[in-house]
Amino acid sequence: MSHPHLPPAHDDPKSVPQLDIVLPVHNEARQLAASVTTLRTFLDRSFPLTTVVTVVDNASTDDTWTIATGLAGSLPGVRALHLDQKGRGRALRAAWTASRSPVVAYMDIDLATGLEALLPLVAPLLTGHSDVAIGTRLAPGAHVVRGARREIISRSYNLLLRTALANSCSDAQCGFKALRREAVDALLPLVDDQAWFFDTEVLIVAQRLGLRIHEVPVDWVDDLDSRVAVARTAWLDLCGVARMMTPASRRRTARARLALASGPVPSQSAPTPVAVVSERRETPDHGPAGSEVFADELLRFAGVGLVSTLAYVVLFALLVPWIGAYAANAVAIVACSLGNTAAHRGVAGTARHGLDRSRRLSVGAALLGVSLAFTTGALAVTRALGFDGLAAELVAVTLANLAAAAFRFTILRTWVFRPHFGTHIRPVALPHADPGATDPARPTAPTASSTPMTTSIPSHSSIASTPSISDRTPTRTSR
């Protein structure tokens, strides 16, 4: 499968840092100075790219902002941004929007992720190979030190994302991510969350747009002093997942994908960045390419399941007196599954996904096995409980059929006909980030000067920055 990607940025590395690392903080006065100093020391001594560290204070009520401005005034390559409202997503949105660096990143203030993973994280973005890069604690090669409770919560959440949203990333919540400037411009208008779900929403939208996501296994040591309200955060994440599952959310991303695909024709007078993004394509026999669960599809599937269940009940009731309950169940299941599988094939879009005949037969056999297992088990449990009358058996197999139908739908939509984004691609033009020009849609970051300065940007926020950034000549990795 082709992996769409965004173009390499052409910012002048002498005027703009190649990497802007954002540290969102809220009431972190106790560890802020030590963490920023450690990060800045690592970047100055061991990192081969020009960088700036942006500390974003989320409406702290302690001395966080005072310490942040002090760091910005004393450490080269450190800036401070203040927001009047809380929310990690809001902090990242403000900092990334104000930044002019070709690559932006963020990490947690506790520096739980080993900094050695930073260069592998951003290198594919600078070369243009990938559009989004994330650290992962759940992929082979990662080394993680954390308690069993957090491990279970993390794995359960990522399993939910894979099941409900077809997320292909192994770790959506790791606080160690980076994006190319063009990816930021394409993604942020489509991301609504301002808090902890912001990370997940960025990844899901990037996947739906067909952007290439790079994963880096990291070393991670959990912060024992973490003050995240797990229960409230989990509830808000579940609300975010439910919102992303709606047809409106999917259609919104699909429209954005079409808008990118039908962008302006690149100018021939100068090199213009070109991105490969997914394009909705009509095929002669099977309609629009792609597979997304919409309300009308769900209703059709439910209608097929209802008709099939009613037909099964009638056949079962007619055959039980002649061949017994278990044999009647098997015959009725086989008979109804023939039409049921064909109907589900049309609803789920088998042909659009290019499944051959042998694959369709194997899928049909597997679905038949699911129904047979559910109903046979229901009959066995009913008889074991002493209910052997026809009425009790009809109730049991009807309930089992409904459960099997829901299970089949989950299998079809999650594994068999799993939605794929970015399958149909063509090059389209994207805006070129020019550090020398002022974009009226994006606040301008402060320029170098001899003293720290404060300037206003949207959301009632301010930036304090130091003049100098590391003077090293940056290196780029060739594609």
Cα–Cα distance for residue pair 373/240, rounded to 1 Å: 34
- The dihedrals phi and psi of 55, each to the nearest 5 degrees, come to -90, 120
Q: Which two tokens mark 351?
A: 């042909």
Nearest by Cα to 461 from 177, 86, 78: 86
Residues 110 and 464: beta-carbon distance below 8 Å: no
Q: Name every residue whose Cβ is closer than 8 Å to that of residue 193 and which is 6 or more positions away in sequence.
A: 89, 200, 201, 240
Q: Name every residue whose Cβ is closer than 8 Å to that of residue 416 and which is 6 or more positions away in sequence.
A: 348, 363
Residues 261 and 430: beta-carbon distance below 8 Å: no
Q: In angstroms, how far is CA 69 from the centroid of its own chain?
A: 33
Residues 113 and 218: beta-carbon distance below 8 Å: yes
Q: Is 406 helix (H, G, I), strand (E, B) or coil?
A: helix
Cα–Cα distance for residue pair 421/207, rounded to 1 Å: 6
Cα–Cα distance for residue pair 320/463, rounded to 1 Å: 78
For residue 107, list its beta bridge partners: 176
Q: Is 83 helix (H, G, I), strand (E, B) or coil?
A: strand
Q: Is 193 a catalytic residue?
A: no
Q: Which two tokens mark 467?
A: 């003049």
Q: Is 328 helix (H, G, I), strand (E, B) or coil?
A: helix
Task: Give the number of other CB atoms < 10 A from CB of residue 31.
Answer: 16
| Identified catalytic residue from 20, 193, 199, 237 | 199
Place of tokens 């290439």: 212
Nearest by Cα to 275 from 419, 425, 423, 132: 425
Residues 432 and 274: beta-carbon distance below 8 Å: no
**Type of residue at 468:** S
Residue 7 gets the label, from left (phi > 0), alpha (psi -120 to 50) or beta, of beta
Residue 182 gets the label, from left (phi > 0), alpha (psi -120 to 50) or beta, of alpha
Q: Is 52 helix (H, G, I), strand (E, B) or coil?
A: strand
**Type of residue at 457:** I
Task: Give the residue numbers marked as catalytic.
Answer: 199
